[in-house]
Amino acid sequence: MVPNRRRSGRVRNHPKSANSGSRMRTAMVAFTLLPAIIAFEESAVSATPATSADYRTSETADGADSDDLYVQVNKKVPTFGGAYWNSNGDLQIALTRPDSEAGKDAAFALREIVNSGVDVAKPQIAHAEYTFIELKEWKDRLYGLHQAVPQLVSTGITQSRNRIQLGVTDSEKNRAVIVENLDQLQIPRGAVLISEEAPIQALSELNDRHRPIRSGLRIRTPAEPGGLFTRACTVGPLAVNSGMTGFVTAAHCSRYQGEVDHEHYYQPGPDASVISPPFDRIGSERKDPFLSSSNCPYAGRKCSTTDANFVQFEPGTSYKRGTIARTSSGTNWNGSNVYRITSKSDTMEGWVVRKVGATTGNTAGTVLNTCVDFHSDSPNPGITIRCQVRTWMHADFGDSGAAGFGLTNSPNTNDVALRGILVGGSNPGGVGNVYFTKISRIQARMGTMTVCASGFSC
């Protein structure tokens, strides 16, 4: 019996959730490492008598962050100015009035409040000019600074330098405005370091909403009437076909494979539980080559040499033809890195085909055979797709439609030749046989597809 994953009710984790977790973990790791990183740029801090400050963090913070924890240490040790690890891994405790007893108290407080792994045996004492509570209070006063300095990128307390650190793009241009604000807020100029920092680009992924539309992004069709699930696939190569602009994807992604059902496609939604905004609808199916039993050498089945359809963009949809999202790892994508399509041709045995699928991202594999007839009963029964390219690579449910391409690096790095689109496989989620419909067959069935980036004719 052929397993039917729809009937089996297989539940998969939403890729987006999984990756959000991964991003969170990355952030936590980075945060944990921060003291060690800062230790490399440690510098002596001047010894100045401490000034007391009101503890107001608990009134202003919207949740416990690491600054709050160090404020608690400061409450136990009034001269505490911060703690960090130097390049030898030794704990350094900065105090406004250095003495070994206060140092030990601070170490114990750190172990109790911040990190149970703190070695309290031999803390090294450094001089601090400001208490941590002072720095925290001044930092909180700077919450509105971004309005005066739109190029402010980050604000933080650098404990190794016992200062507030502002990361600013075009820092020299903005210095005068910042100093003016410090004076108005009664923050000592000496307590603030201004450093140059480029704007931070938020990481996103292929499952997020992106405009312009590019190949590699997540698309979904609406749930079937009464059904819970939408079908999730991947935007294939963007193309101009018969005067229409749109994209190619796998025909089985639409409700009726082999007939033009004018199925609507959304990027990234619609979500099963959310009413998708109308502007997320990016196109409707316009071509879906028919399946034939009369022209099929396999008795009782319907055949086609393609599993591809053409979706015309909705008017006003922003798109960038000839580009494929180039992911860094998995499905994380910075929204700008792309492969550029500069040619198109079929692949042959032994060549390498690459794809960017919205579920498994950027993977590649070797072509094992360029003319395999495969019988498939999922998602639609009784269909044989003839003369497909068989590769050996990693892919999964949701990758259908992804552009298959070869890296040519011609004329430039990351330029590619389009080979076809991904249509299925026999080992979902793992490495195994993955099938592609050839670009030549897509064109034979639906007419010429103009797929290249501007400046190239193909």
Closer to another protein at the Cβ: 132 or 405? Answer: 405
| CA separation for the pair 8, 396 (Å, rounded) | 17
Residues 163-222 within binding reach of another protein (CB under 8 A): 220
Closer to another protein at the Cβ: 98 or 432? Answer: 432
280 sits near another protein (criterion: CB under 8 A): no
Which member of 369, 414, 450, 458 binds another protein (CB under 8 A)? Answer: 369
| Phi, psi (degrees; rounded to nearest 5) at 402 | -55, 140
Place of tokens 């449910």: 397
Which member of 90, 173, 290, 381 binds another protein (CB under 8 A)? Answer: 290
359 sits near another protein (criterion: CB under 8 A): yes
Cis amide prior to 379 (ω within 30 degrees): yes
Which member of 245, 332, 343, 345 binds another protein (CB under 8 A)? Answer: 345
Residue among 414, 446, 3, 51 nearest 251 (CA): 446
Q: Are the C-beta atoms of 453 and 322 separated by less than 8 Å? A: yes
Closer to another protein at the Cβ: 125 or 352? Answer: 352
Cβ partners under 8 Å of residue 404, min gap 6 = 347, 353, 354, 355, 389, 391, 418, 419, 420, 421, 422, 436
Place of tokens 């190569």: 237
236 sits near another protein (criterion: CB under 8 A): no
Closer to another protein at the Cβ: 43 or 273? Answer: 273
Closer to another protein at the Cβ: 51 or 242? Answer: 242
Residues 23-82 within binding reach of another protein (CB under 8 A): none
Place of tokens 């699930």: 229
Element (H, E) at 6: helix 5-8
419 sits near another protein (criterion: CB under 8 A): no
Cβ partners under 8 Å of residue 451, min gap 6 = 237, 238, 239, 321, 322, 341, 344, 418, 439, 458
Task: Report helix, strand or coil for 119.
Answer: coil
Residues 371-400 within binding reach of another protein (CB under 8 A): 371-380, 386-387, 390, 395-400
| CA separation for the pair 63, 85 (Å, rounded) | 25
Residues in contact with another protein, shown as a per-residue x/- string from 422 to 451 under the rule CB under 8 A:
xxxxxxx---xxxx--------xxxx----
Task: Report helix, strand or coil for 226.
Answer: coil
Closer to another protein at the Cβ: 31 or 290? Answer: 290
264 sits near another protein (criterion: CB under 8 A): no
Which member of 198, 202, 275, 299 binds another protein (CB under 8 A)? Answer: 299
In angstroms, give the least distance from the CB of 446 to another protein: 7
| Segment near another protein (CB under 8 A); pick from 81-89, 97-105, 302-310, 324-332 | 302-310
| Segment near another protein (CB under 8 A); pick from 72-80, 110-118, 132-140, 370-378 | 370-378
In angstroms, give the least distance from the CB of 338 to another protein: 22
Closer to another protein at the Cβ: 118 or 389? Answer: 389
* CA distance from start to end of the chain: 44
| Segment near another protein (CB under 8 A); pick from 62-70, 146-154, 295-303, 330-338 | 295-303
Residues 96-115 within binding reach of another protein (CB under 8 A): none
Residue among 120, 187, 119, 184 nearest 157 (CA): 187
Residues 123-162 within binding reach of another protein (CB under 8 A): none
352 sits near another protein (criterion: CB under 8 A): yes
Which member of 68, 301, 320, 392 binds another protein (CB under 8 A)? Answer: 301
In angstroms, give the least distance from the CB of 68 to another protein: 39
CA torsion 159-164-169-171 (nearest 10°) is -120
Which member of 34, 177, 203, 260 binds another protein (CB under 8 A)? Answer: 260
Closer to another protein at the Cβ: 50 or 402? Answer: 402
232 sits near another protein (criterion: CB under 8 A): yes
In angstroms, give the least distance from the CB of 318 to another protein: 24
Place of tokens 């082999």: 258
Sign of CA dihedral 205, 210, 215, 221: positive
Place of tokens 């009464």: 226
Place of tokens 């698309």: 219
In angstroms, give the least distance from the CB of 299 to another protein: 5
Closer to another protein at the Cβ: 177 or 352? Answer: 352
| CA separation for the pair 417, 341 (Å, rounded) | 6
Number of residues near another protein (by CB under 8 A): 80
Closer to another protein at the Cβ: 99 or 224? Answer: 224
| Phi, psi (degrees; rounded to nearest 5) at 18 | -60, -40
Element (H, E) at 332: strand 332-333
| CA separation for the pair 13, 430 (Å, rounded) | 15
**Burial, 204: exposed, middle or buried (Cβ in 10 Å; 0-12, 13-18, 19+)?**
middle
